[in-house]
Amino acid sequence: KYRIRPVDFDPRQLVGDCVALFNQRAQEKGLSLEASIDADVPSTLNADPDRIKQILDNLVGNACKFTEHGEVTLHMGFERTDGACALSVRVQDTGCGIAPDAQRSLFQAFTQVDGSYVREHGGTGLGLAIAKRLTELMDGEIGLQSEPGRGSVFWFKVRVSVPSLALPDSMRRSGSSDRSRGRSSLRT
């Protein structure tokens, strides 16, 4: 059983920790591992950072595992609609890609794509099923876009709340949902 334990956390720290965790693996394979965070992502959010990190680590770990050359990029954004806030994350790779028929069952427990390829890289087939369950527990969703030979984009959104002091000045003053398009980035 999973329990969601919301606390205040720094989303940039989560991204930095994830990049640090997979940096060596990416370098050993000759991959570029990059992360970017939209400037409008508040410096403090309230949700379960341990569960969000678990999802991040799973998606970035899979991307590094199944990408033989090229890059893995992680992007974090923030959405505010009708009073609800969501943290949105996208992990894109230049890996082998996933056939449409395999995509339909990918988030089910013990499901893996192309057994011969997966056996070479290891894994149990539980990671994406767990990630799906965690996103659902945080009132979120998870999905992917992929094409064989063209890589994959895995994404998820989870509901978060924002302590009022963590909102950018422009949002506190106007209550506006206008978003800056600036980004900060991490590279390895």
Q: Which two tokens stand for residue 95?
A: 């890996």
More confident of the two residues 156 and 170:
156
Q: How far apart are CA 173 and CA 9, in angstroms?
A: 23
Q: How far apart are CA 8 and CA 34, in angstroms?
A: 25
Q: How far apart are CA 114 and CA 95, in angstroms?
A: 14
Q: Which two tokens stand for residue 113?
A: 């794509």
- Decide if pLDDT at 60 tops 90: yes
Over the stretch 128-160, which tens digit does the pLDDT of each residue have? 989 999 999 999 999 999 989 899 999 999 999
| The predicted structure's pLDDT at residue 42 | 96
How much of the chain, in percent, has pLDDT values that exceed 70?
78
Give the predicted TM-score (pTM) of the model: 0.81
